[in-house]
Structure 1
């Protein structure tokens, strides 16, 4: 567990944290261009998002590394990716149909487009970083990032993520990420910024965004 200056205590999340952290995820991602594209109706979005992020949180607890704060006001879900990770496409489609119902096709399309250009270089993948909207601009998200970045620098590993809006893109740029080729979702969908935090080099820079071979779903 790590405390940085006056920032909150960062610790590993457990199953007992699931309820509050699912709520943080669903609320943090409820607004924005990606949310509007996935589910235009905000009331239906709230219901589907709770199911979607409940699945994401439990998957992260089982297969990844989930970090939170002492007051459960933020959550980060990381996945170590030492090599390309195949996805059981049919199983995932069935899961998204149960979770999202009539909105499943857009969720399937989004995840397929993200997977198709995911870097093959060994890295840690930040699938989600969420802060309670009432606690924005207090350095909480930065504390979660800094804690895991310190671990990655010790391991000599880069980090990768997708930023769904310009505010988040600026946050990650401030934390050492560079922007790679973007993803534009179809049917008037939003632009997604692919972000890479390389490993330190001897001249003080970081390794650049890696070349990515597009994979078919």
Structure 2
């Protein structure tokens, strides 16, 4: 049986924030941004809410019909084009920190690091985040959500990009056709991330 997928709207905001908050509570990057577990439990959702609002306004969020998984995507232009928000990345990082946790410099730092490592030479689809309810992880929901957009990428000849936040998750993305970049994204005194790229699959490639 296939996984039912639909585009999220403003009415789904709280659902998406909750899914991301639950899915990323124990993520290595979230743990670096919010090192104290209790503080992370009470504050982490603000960062997920900020991400959700950005993508609701500028990109696309897909959710499973049963509301147990979501994926956040942005369409990124090639260098020289306007980004999704048309703003300056440094200013965006500052605004993110001020809106989420003003005294926490790591909120701003992670935003800067990810923006600096992002490929800019070709237009592509960017998988910013994917969240699956902890009780439903391992059932293929994440793969179905990603493949849903990759099928469109293949039809339109668009590559896709993401940053995997754990070595384990790179294996999932490799099965979907992504390959690791030459460099990892090493957070100062923190975890490692794996930038990954996927070229579109053409009809000839499929045969």
Could you tell me the TM-score, scaled by structure 1's length?
A: 0.85
1:36 alignment counterpart: 31
1:111 matched to which residue of 2? 111
Within the alignment, does 1:160 sit opposite 2:155 as a pair? Answer: no
Q: Counterpart of 1:64?
A: 59
The answer to whether the Cα contact below 8 Å between 1:13 and 1:68 also exists between their aligned partners in 2 is: yes
2-structure distance, mates of 1:110, 1:139: 28
| Higher alpha-carbon deviation: 81-90 or 26-35 | 81-90
> Unaligned 5+ residue runs, structure 2?
none
Cα separation, 1, equivalents of 2:202 and 2:12:
38
Q: Distance in 1 between matches of 2:119 and 2:127?
A: 13
Structure 1 residues without counterparts, runs of 5 or longer: 1-5, 206-217
Q: Please give the root-mean-square deviation of Cα atoms over the aligned residues, in Å.
A: 1.7
Q: Is the 8 A contact 2:34 2:44 kept in 1?
A: no
1:42 Cα deviation (Å)?
A: 1.5
1:215 match: none
2-structure distance, mates of 1:139, 1:26? 20
The Cα of 1:202 is off from its aligned counterpart by 7.9
CA distance in 1 between counterparts of 2:2 and 2:43 reads 32
Number of aligned positions between the proteins: 198
Taking the aligned partners of 2:101 and 2:196, their CA distance within structure 1 comes to 27
Shift of 1:72: 1.1
**Which whole-Å deviations, capped at 9, do the CAs of 1:36-61 have from their partners, x for residues lacking one?**
21111122112222111111112111
Q: Distance between the aligned counterparts of 1:17 and 1:154, measured in 2? A: 28
Q: C-alpha displacement at 1:97, in angstroms?
A: 2.3
Residue 81 of structure 1, aligned match among 76, 79, 103: 76
- Give me the whole-angstrom Cα distance separating, in 2, the residues matched to 1:194 and 1:31: 20
Q: Are 1:7 and 1:140, in contact at CA under 8 Å, matched by a contact in 2?
A: no
Q: Distance in 2 between matches of 1:73 and 1:11?
A: 12
TM-score of the aligned structures, taking structure 2 as reference length: 0.89
Residue by residue, what CA displacement relative to the aligned partner does 1:51-104 show, whole Å, maximum 9, x if unpaired? 11111112111100110011111111101112243643235313312312332x
Does the 8 A contact of 1:183 with 1:193 survive in 2? Answer: yes
